[in-house]
Structure formats: structure tokens, C-alpha cells
Chains A and B, each alone.
Chain A
Amino acid sequence: MALVGNIRDFGLSDFLYLVDRGDKTGGLYLSHGQETALLFFERGKLVMAVRRPEDQQPDLLVRLGLLTENQLARARASLAARGNGATLTEVILAENLAPREQLQGALQSFSEEAVYGLFGWPEGEFRFEQNQRPDPAAPTIPSPISVDHLIMEGSRRIDELGRIKDRIPSTDLVVRFLDQPGVRIKGIKLSAEEWRVIARINGRDTLAEIAQKTNLKEFDVCRIVYGFLTAGLVEVVKKPVPMPLARGGPAEVPRVKRSLVNRIINRIKGM
């Protein structure tokens, strides 16, 4: 079943997070005015992203200088001969028509740039067709790429305060790591400023305090934390109020008797 919506309401980075954490396979179709984009994912990783329909065609490999016309014709003939299950990329690699690193580098850069451009869209309809895969002859990336990196880079390109405020409504919020962020951080390239911020995240300091300690502007800290947040590395929470002074913080809920809960359960079961 398709997932549909608008990236104005459910941002692209939120969608990429869902694809990643949900290990989704499928095709994401986006449109904004005259512009379109198509992204394919395999088990949560990006295998292809194009902004123009013609870039799904195998001759993209020639335009990118990865294959000659003759090599492409040979690869397509081999693909046709192999039949079901094989992809053009696999054929190219199996027949050594292009070095793996070269193919990976060029197609990865091409797809990444296609995705980064989408972060600038203020809105756009999306439709995710689950379990849909690219055409076997499409120029797919040999080793699918993690979307964590895409989310971080995409977030760096977001400079709209409104979008950031949606997730980080106040600089009085405390930033803290989610469980085991280390594993995910390993796959992400951080800038020097991002390292400065991440080094200050201790579960006690607010965004405003981190800005003070790093000598960065509060907006820049919010933008950086927005990236971490969107990639699922950290969370922002209200600063705990010391217990004796607690007012307005989370209140203790009086414990209810199990017998009372059991009575309600039995009543509702019997309805």
C-alpha cells in the first residue's frame, strides 16, 4: 500500500528516517510544480535517485563517462541474455566493464546531489510505493548508501527557522543522546562545528548553554542539533526541575490498585 503525503507536513528528512528505521524497500515519487524526483530504496538504503525521468535510463552511464556506447550495448545484451533477477549494474561489474569504485563514486555523487536538491523544496507531494524496485536496466548504485548521511547533509542545507522550530521550539531544552548513538555516528561525517556541539551534549546543558560554551550562535546550534535530531541520534527534552522546587514538571501519578484495574478490564472484555 502506498504512503502518501506532502513534505510540507511530513518532511523529507522525516521520511528518510522512516525508510531507514523501517528497512523499507520501494520507490518514492516526489513532485513540486513542474519538478519531479524518484528515489528507490532497498532495505532502508538508497539505490538510485533521479530528478529527470531520462536519468533512469541506462545511457546515464554514458553521459557520466562511465561506459562507452559499445560497452553499454554489450552490457544490455548480457543483461537480456541473463534474464530474471540480474541488474545492469551487476552485469557491468561481473564483466569488468567499469571499475567498481568508479561506478560507485559517480552514481553515488549523482544520486546524493539529486536528493540534496530536494531539501530546498518548501512543499511537494510524495507517494511511496512499497516493494517497488527500479527497472533492471536502471543505473543503480552498486553498494546502496545509508540515508543517515543524506539526512545530516540535507539538514545542513535547511536554514528555515520555522522548520527547525517545529522540532526545537525553545533553546531552553536539554539535548541528550539516544541509546547507543555511537554506532550511528560512525557512518556520519561531521563538520568541525558539529563536533564542537556534539562534544558538549551531556544531557544537562540546554541549547542556549551549548551555544554559550561553544561560542556559536543559538540558531547555528539549533540547526546542528536539528540535524542530529532528524537523524535519530539525540532527543531534546525539557530541563528537569529540582524536586523540592518542582512546579509544572512531570507530576507523579498516584498508583491505582490492581484490583480496580482488573475490574475495568473484565468489564470491557465482557462488553
Chain B
Amino acid sequence: MQTVKMVISGAVNAGKTEFIRSISEIEVVSTERRATDDTRMIKKETTVAMDFGRIAIGPDLVLHLFGTPGQKRFDFMWEILSEGMLGLVILVDSTRPETFRETNRIIDFFISYRDTAYVIAANKQDRPNAWSPEELRLALRQPPHIKVLPCVASDRESVKNVLLELLYVIQERSEE
């Protein structure tokens, strides 16, 4: 059985758990713990280890989805999770510009280690005052060739679209 891995990252409360939950075929294995630091202000429980989802591609192939912990003190996990990954989805809470700097730090971290295929998912586009994907591209100073996609992490079709767009990026870099 071959397994391939995609990593879903983003700042605290960007919607990583929900994103994986919307598409995973298994109940998402999530090690939610009561938040013990400043994340408590944002949500009562937050992911301190990681989320894990799974999609069977065929009898011999499985796609694993790993959500990274959002807090800075779990940075060490990111490198471990990113080993051997096929691609990366960076989720951004489009309604909270205070997380954009942290999002940039996460992007820098991942792309400085590997020539990673990644897309940015502008989550919570269904909320009032959500910054549009193009506004997010400018705010995050992403070049035009990086896809910044509208996303609602609770909507399966929206999550599918983000994963497909990432796969098209990976497809372009793949070999025959």
C-alpha cells in the first residue's frame, strides 16, 4: 500500500480541522486540547498536536491529510510533518488580518525548507468582511503564479476545489 501526504497549515483558528473534516473518509483523528495560552481568547479548544484525515485513492494508494498545530510553540512539528509531503495548503482566516503576518511566517517556513507545491486557501469567504482572495494575495505579498483560492472549509465542494487546484500545481511539476 502506497501512501501520499498533503499538509494543511495555517495560523490558529484558520480552519484546518474543519477543512480536513469536510473531506476525510474517516472520522478525523484530532488531538484537541483545552487551549492554555493566548489562543484561549480565540477558541476554547485548539489543535495542539495534529489532525489526521484519510482518503482511499484505490486498493493500493491512500492520501493522508495532516493538519499542523497552529501555535508557534509547536513549530518543531511542522518540519516533521512536511517530510515527504506531496503538497501544502495554507489556510488563512480571511476575516482576521491580525493573522496575516503569522501566515507569512508559516509560508516562509515551509518554502524555505523545500521547493514545496502550495496553494493558499482564503477561508471563511462566507463571512461578512472577509478579504477577497486578490486582497489576500496583496496582503500576503504572494506572486501572481501562486494560487489564492476562495474557500469555505465547512463546505466539501469548496475543499475539493482547493485540493484539486493544488493537485493541478503538483501535476505540472510531475514527471511522465
Q: Residues on A close to B: CB < 8 A? A: 1-6, 8-10, 14, 17-18, 21-22, 166, 232, 238, 248-253, 255-258, 260-265, 267-269, 271
Q: CB distance B138 to A21 under 8 Å?
A: yes
Chain B residues with Cβ under 8 A from A269's Cβ? 160, 164
7 more CB-based (< 8 A) A-B contacts, given A21-B138, A260-B4, A269-B164: A3-B131, A6-B97, A22-B135, A252-B115, A263-B58, A267-B57, A267-B63
Q: Which residue of B lies closest to A20 (CB)?
A: B138
Contact A1 B129 (CB under 8 A): yes
- CB atoms of B167 and A268 under 8 A apart: yes
Contact B58 A267 (CB under 8 A): yes
Cβ A255 vs Cβ B175 within 8 A: yes
| Chain B residues, Cβ within 8 Å of A4 | 97, 129
- Do residues A271 and B23 form an inter-chain contact, with CB atoms below 8 A? yes
Question: Are B4 and A264 neighbours in the complex by a CB distance under 8 Å?
Answer: yes
Beyond A17-B138, A250-B113, A256-B86, is A9–B164 a contact (Cβ under 8 Å)? no
A248: chain B residues within 8 A (beta carbon) = 113
Q: In the complex, what's the smallest C-beta–C-beta distance from A196 to chain B, in angstroms?
A: 26
**B98 and A6 contact, CB distance less than 8 A:** yes
In the A-B complex, the 3 residue pairs with the closest CB atoms:
A9-B98, A5-B97, A10-B97
- Whether A9 pairs with B101 at a CB distance below 8 angstroms is yes
Which residues 74-101 of B have a CB within 8 angstroms of A? 86, 97-101
- Chain A residues in 8 Å Cβ range of B170: 256, 261
In Å, the complex CA distance between A199 and B65 comes to 47
Give A126's nearest chain B residue, CB to CB. B97
Q: Which of A3, A258, A271 contacts B176 (CB 8 A)?
A: A258
Chain B residues with Cβ below 8 Å from A3 are 97, 129, 131, 135
Question: Is there contact, CB below 8 Å, between A258 and B160?
Answer: no
Closest to B111 in A: A250
Within 8 A of A (CB), among B147-168: 156, 160, 163-164, 167-168
- Asked whether B73 is an interface residue with its Cβ less than 8 Å from the other chain, the reply is no
Nearest Cβ distance between residue B115 and chain A, in whole angstroms? 5
Shortest CB distance A270–B (Å): 10
**Contact in complex: B138, A18 (CB < 8 Å):** yes
CB distance from A123 to the nearest CB of B (A): 11
If A253-B114, A258-B174 touch, whether A22 touches B134 (CB-CB below 8 Å) is: yes
Q: How far is the CB of A145 from chain B (nearest CB, A)?
A: 20
B101 closest partner in A (C-beta): A166
* Contact between chains at A18 and B135 (CB < 8 Å): yes
Across the interface, do B171 and A261 meet the contact criterion of CB distance under 8 Å? yes
Q: Kindly state the separation between the CA atoms of A241 and B116 in the bound complex, as whole angstroms.
A: 18
Within the complex, the shortest CB–CB distance from B88 to chain A, in Å, comes to 11
Indicate which residue in A251, A255, A260, A264 contacts B173 across the interface (CB closer than 8 Å): A255
Between-chain CB contacts (< 8 Å), 20 pairs: A3-B97, A3-B135, A10-B101, A10-B139, A18-B135, A22-B138, A249-B112, A250-B113, A251-B114, A252-B115, A256-B86, A256-B173, A256-B175, A258-B171, A261-B170, A263-B57, A263-B61, A264-B4, A268-B23, A268-B164
Shortest Cβ gap from A47 to chain B (Å): 20
Nearest CB in chain B to that of A18: its residue: B138
Q: Which residues of B contact A9 (CB under 8 A)?
A: 97-101
From A252, A256, A268, give the contact of B55 (CB < 8 A).
A268
Residues of chain B within 8 A (CB-CB) of A253 are 114-117
Q: Which residues of A contact B175 (CB under 8 A)?
A: 255-258
Distance, CA A271 to CA B157, complexed state (A): 9
- Provide the bound-state CA to CA distance between A14 and B170, in Å: 31
B49 at the interface (CB under 8 A from A): no
Chain A residues near B57: list those with CB within 8 A: 263-264, 267
CB A191 to nearest CB in B, in angstroms, measures 25
Find chain A residues with CB under 8 A from B128 CB.
1
CB distance from A268 to the nearest CB of B (A): 5
Q: Are A250 and B112 in contact (CB under 8 A)?
A: yes
Output the nearest chain A residue to B130 by Cβ-Cβ distance: A1
B175: nearest chain-A partner, CB-CB: A255
Interface residues of B in 17-33 (CB under 8 A from A): 23
Q: How far is the CA of A238 from the CA of B111 in the complex (A)?
A: 11
| Chain B residues in 8 Å Cβ range of A21 | 138
